[in-house]
Amino acid sequence: MGTHVGPLLAVALGVLGAGCREAPITAPRPITSLPRALGAGESGLIGADNRFAFKLFGEIARRAGPDSNLFISPLSAAMALGMAYDGAAGTTQAEMQRALELTGMTLDDVNQSYRSLIALLRGLDPGVAFTLANSVWYRPSLTLTPEFVDAAQTYFGARVQSLDFATPTAAPTINGWVSDQTRGKIPAIVPDPVPDDVVAYLINAIYFKGDWTMRFDPARTTPGPFTLANGAQTSVPMMTHGRTVTIGLLHDGDVTVLDLPYSAGAFTMTIALPRQPGGIDSLVAGLTEERWNRWTAALDSAALEVHLPKFTLRYALTLNDALKAMGMPSAFCDSGHGDFARMNPSGQLCITDVRHKAFVDVNEEGTEAAAATAVGIGIVSLPPSVVVDRPFVFAIRERLSGTILFLGRVMNPAAVSGP
């Protein structure tokens, strides 16, 4: 597990003096509503995925170093595991249902809702590049049930392909697909060569690139201070527009929430900033879907000067331990009794590992983010002025449906490490 962070986030928001007005801008026509109403199943799935997002994020943060940056795509993880859930049975299915927060939804509800949500998110804002793709790769010796293959193709739009994992080109073929879907930002997700105990991979890839509704002026990027959780300071390059811009803003006790729109405003970056640098731990530990929804629903429009540092973050980890702690231990091979009978008639399949990689780059033009999740399958036998100059949490989300695409914690913008 590791991170790489270029100069990262410090957002300064200050209301300019009397007489200053926001400069005229040319922006896309704002998107103020979804093209259609969300169905009950879609709303239920988005709520489930967001509950899973904060639960997974909290578990990863609990296991990570206290000063480490984090960045994941909970939607990517949920979707890859959603394909695996389609093949689960018995105790494994029940555990995955609880861990993925899908209790109360039928399997058909989940599948139909994923299909319609994927269609909704794609092309929602023509000014934002958004790719969401799924695939299933399996050894020729593995027999997948027609029901599982049909669900993967019909509801997840997955490419399902038999591939001889023993050949030297197997891993490059799978990784090439992931690289293509993420425009090179996640160049590899499965090990090369493919481990002997893996008989299939269920993979999700997601890519996002959006320009700010109000782009920052590169000529105005200058160094600025960032206070770490322990009180020490570092310097990071801070971007600004040189004028007021309209953003979403909320003060809730010791937390300030900022919302910066992309393109026509359907997608945004939402930042939760604790009042004190050391307050980041309690902020992360206290994140819930209910609290998040309350914040985003209460955001108000404000014309402020924004200072935001450029940052680049790479993150990679294996989710096995976190998912076991979240209540699905029997799904994994080391439990000795995984049950994916609806994927393969033998009923002896299990999850070898869940690998996740994510990337985000924030600059004067906008934000580019990508992630991939690979589920390996094996055999059971195997204030008026606010400065984000201290640790904070941020998300990239689709505002109108509430779908969280990416979620991160920034502890030290100047930290440099790698997977």
Note whether residue 163 is domain-resident.
yes
Q: Are residues 142 and 185 in the same domain?
A: yes
Q: Are residues 88 and 206 in the same domain?
A: yes
Q: Are residues 395 and 271 in the same domain?
A: yes
What is the domain count for the chain?
Answer: 2
Give the global pTM.
0.88
Q: Are residues 111 and 141 in the same domain?
A: yes
Q: 97-101 contacts: CB < 8 A, separation 24 or more?
A: 98/327, 98/328, 99/52, 99/323, 99/326, 99/327, 99/328, 100/48, 100/52, 100/328, 101/47, 101/48, 101/49, 101/51, 101/52, 101/55
Choose between 10 and 346: higher pLDDT.
346
Domain containing 225 equals 2-15+215-309+385-410
% of the chain surpassing 70 pLDDT: 90
Q: Give mean pLDDT, residues 162-166.
A: 97
Residue 236: give its domain's CATH number. 2.30.39.10
Q: What is the pLDDT of residue 163?
A: 98
Question: Tens of pLDDT along 226-277?
Answer: 888 999 999 998 888 888 889 999 999 999 999 999 999 999 999 999 999 9
Strand-pair partners of 369: 208, 360
Q: Are residues 176 and 237 in the same domain?
A: no
Note whether residue 228 is domain-resident.
yes
User: Is 50 exceeded by the pLDDT of residue 382?
Assistant: no
Rounded distance, CA 400 to CA 3, Å? 30
Note whether residue 229 is domain-resident.
yes
Note whether residue 416 is domain-resident.
no
Q: Are residues 146 and 226 in the same domain?
A: no
Q: What is the pLDDT of residue 238?
A: 87
Q: What is the pLDDT of residue 226?
A: 86
Q: Are residues 61 and 138 in the same domain?
A: yes
Note whether residue 126 is domain-resident.
yes
User: Is 50 exceeded by the pLDDT of residue 417?
Assistant: no
Note whether residue 10 is domain-resident.
yes
Q: Are residues 185 and 274 in the same domain?
A: no
Residue 328: give its domain's CATH number. 3.30.497.10
Q: Are residues 82 and 160 in the same domain?
A: yes
Q: Using 50, 70 and 90 to split pLDDT, how confident is the model at 30?
A: very high
Q: Are residues 295 and 250 in the same domain?
A: yes
Q: Using 50, 70 and 90 to split pLDDT, how confident is the model at 394?
A: confident
Q: Are residues 89 and 175 in the same domain?
A: yes
